[in-house]
Amino acid sequence: MPKYLIDVNLPYYFSLWNHEKYVHQIDIDPRAKDKDIWQYAIDNHLIIITKDSDFSSRVLLTNPPPKVIHIRTGNINMKEFHELISRFWGEVEEMILSHKLVIVHKEYLEGVD
């Protein structure tokens, strides 16, 4: 079963991610630099969930691990965010198994090999 590292810029209190397979960066080191987050994900076999495009760029230049789920929704309120992620999450989890990067847009998902 995949496990995930949730970047500090994503909501901490989100019932979907309130499970043992999700680790929140804020619980590890809220001020960690991207390179440290990347290495932590590698060392602990975690998939990074982020809004930070730096991780998407990095995963395109390297072979996983780690894999990345990049949430690119622009500015939306918390209710819209929860609805969007809840709607797409099952498909995101399936896609990340066969892609090194999954990008979540407002209307669709994009998988990158």
Tell me which residue has tokens 């975690």.
46
- Alpha-carbon torsion (110, 95, 90, 71), positive or negative: negative
Q: How many Å apart are CA 113 and CA 101, to the nearest integer? A: 7
**Which is nearest to 2 in space by CA: 109, 63, 112, 90?**
90
Quick check: 57 and 70 in contact, CB under 8 A?
no
pLDDT tens sequence across 2-48: 899 999 989 888 888 888 999 999 999 999 999 999 999 999 999 99
The per-residue pLDDT of the chain, averaged, comes to 93
pLDDT on residue 1? 75
What pTM, to 2 d.p., does this model score? 0.94
